[in-house]
Amino acid sequence: MAEVIPFNGVLYDAPLVSQDSGADLLAPPYDIITPEFREDLYQRSPYNIVRIDFGKELPGDDNSHNRYTRAKDFLDEWLRDGVLTESQRPCFYSYEISYKIENRDKILRGFLGLVKLEELGKGNIYPHEYTHSKPKKDRLNLMRICGANISPIFSLYRSDEGKTAAVFAGAHDAPARVEARDPDGAVHRLWEVSDAKAIAVIEEELKDKAIFIADGHHRYETALAYQREMRMKEGASGSPRPYDYVMMFLANMADEGLTILPTHRLVKKIPSDALDLLSTDFRIEEMSDNFAISRAIAGQRDVYGLYTGGETWYRLSYRGEGIYGVPAALRDLDVTILHDLIFKQLLDIESVSYEMDVQKCLQAVRDSAFAAAFFLNPTRVEDVEKVALASLRMPPKSTYFYPKLMTGMVLNIFYNTITL
């Protein structure tokens, strides 16, 4: 069973958060920060977490002086100067995000805790997507130098008990410890929960639950790699070490505040007879509805949009019932049919780029930067659970969980050797 425990998190000093806007100190996840926005975050505050989590490369950087060593220097300095302070007692951290999506107000609720590392698929922690090696190398370098989890992994569990939610609802009677507005306008709030009875209730509800990684597969695999390195370095131990755990945000799948958005595909090349090749497996409709693509395919299983330029686009409706030879949990998923049937079998497409914004996809094709754009519906959360429990993985970028967590709400430092 997965082990979830409270921890002495490191947070921005409360007076500093009240003096500076939380938005000046926190940052979105590193992998969605553009170079221009990173510069903006640098200018907002000398203490913005981006300096640690996703610092700039500078001329003259080498193996001894680089953005990773500067991250460690910032971390040590901020701890010494009291910019960052450690919670006095082990806590779970209730984390709530109020946001708007498609003109609807929603609230995502969850909490931050430490989860004991397990090899993926061999215990109760499950991935659902494949990963790329480059991000893992970057995150491992940062973890090696800083000895910390700077940003949490976004994970899910399923529970109909509601005991944890009740505990956190009571904690929200107090003012939030941290509050910040992200670039999309969502409001992020955090509360410390250190009451022993409350912690016991949370641990009890989570103890027999499977945990599904929603966003942060790279960071989890990085934590496993770091754990292996440290075990080789320090030798065997009869008790858990700090690096045997990783910081996670845990949200209940039953929470209606959870949103998954689609990530569309852009391709550089497409066969000139693509529509003929697709017609054997798909019903093809030429559409001229002012490019309301998302609305035209919404809620329909195995239905896609295709744009290759001009004033119209095509709606592709799959005629089959899944792909032969593919495991049952994957064979009828939109992303599987798109990648395994359309890209690999029918159109022989190898290189794929990703973009969430429909209008940006359309413009990229109109500008001839790409030959075609494929649009799809979001993956359902129940499909994420089904695929993960079957120990299978979807193609990269199959899910985009929204809203994104803010980096800097809480840090987990493995060994705090700084003299405060």
Two structure tokens written together for 339: 């990648």
> How many Å apart are CA 244 and CA 228, to the nearest integer?
9
Determine the average pLDDT of the residues in 398-406: 93
| pLDDT of 19 | 53
395 occurs within a structural domain:
no
Instruction: Indicate if 157 and 217 belong to the same structural domain.
Output: yes
349 occurs within a structural domain:
yes
Asked, as a colleague might, if the bond just before 403 is cis with ω within 30 of 0, I would say yes
Instruction: Indicate if 161 and 201 belong to the same structural domain.
Output: yes
Instruction: Indicate if 253 and 280 belong to the same structural domain.
Output: no
Report pLDDT digits (tens) over 319-345: 988 788 889 889 889 999 999 999 999
Q: What is the percent of the chain where pLDDT is above 70?
A: 96
Averaged confidence pLDDT in the chain: 91
Instruction: Indicate if 162 and 128 belong to the same structural domain.
Output: yes
Instruction: Indicate if 268 and 189 belong to the same structural domain.
Output: no
Instruction: Indicate if 173 and 89 belong to the same structural domain.
Output: yes
Cβ pair 108, 182 in contact under 8 A: no
Determine the average pLDDT of the residues in 62-75: 96
Instruction: Indicate if 166 and 250 belong to the same structural domain.
Output: yes
Instruction: Indicate if 127 and 233 belong to the same structural domain.
Output: yes
Instruction: Indicate if 88 and 69 belong to the same structural domain.
Output: yes
| pLDDT of 171 | 81
Q: Which residues contact 373 (CB under 8 A, 6 or more apart)?
A: 264, 265, 266, 267, 305, 306, 307, 355, 361, 362, 364, 365
Instruction: Indicate if 291 and 308 belong to the same structural domain.
Output: yes
193 occurs within a structural domain:
yes
420 occurs within a structural domain:
no
Determine the average pLDDT of the residues in 198-218: 90
388 occurs within a structural domain:
no
Specify the number of domains making up the chain: 2
| pLDDT of 23 | 85
Instruction: Indicate if 186 and 231 belong to the same structural domain.
Output: yes
Report pLDDT digits (tens) over 232-248: 999 878 889 999 999 99
pLDDT bin (cut points 50, 70, 90) of residue 131 is low
Report pLDDT digits (tens) over 76-89: 999 999 999 999 99
Element of type H or E holding 406? none
392 occurs within a structural domain:
no
31 occurs within a structural domain:
yes
Q: In sequence order, what DSSP letters do the residues of 47-111 get, joined into one string?
A: T-THHHHSPPP-TT--SSSSHHHHHHHHHHHHHHTTSEEE-SS-BEEEEEEEEEETTEEEEEEEE
Determine the average pLDDT of the residues in 217-225: 92
Determine the average pLDDT of the residues in 123-130: 83
Instruction: Indicate if 288 and 366 belong to the same structural domain.
Output: yes
| pLDDT of 322 | 77
Report pLDDT digits (tens) over 282-318: 999 999 878 899 999 998 999 999 999 999 999 999 9
Report pLDDT digits (tens) over 358-397: 999 999 999 999 999 999 999 999 999 999 888 888 888 8
- Structural domain range at position 298: 263-377
Tell whether the model's pLDDT for residue 34 goes beyond 70.
yes
384 occurs within a structural domain:
no
Tell whether the model's pLDDT for residue 180 goes beyond 80.
yes
Tell whether the model's pLDDT for residue 48 goes beyond 90.
yes
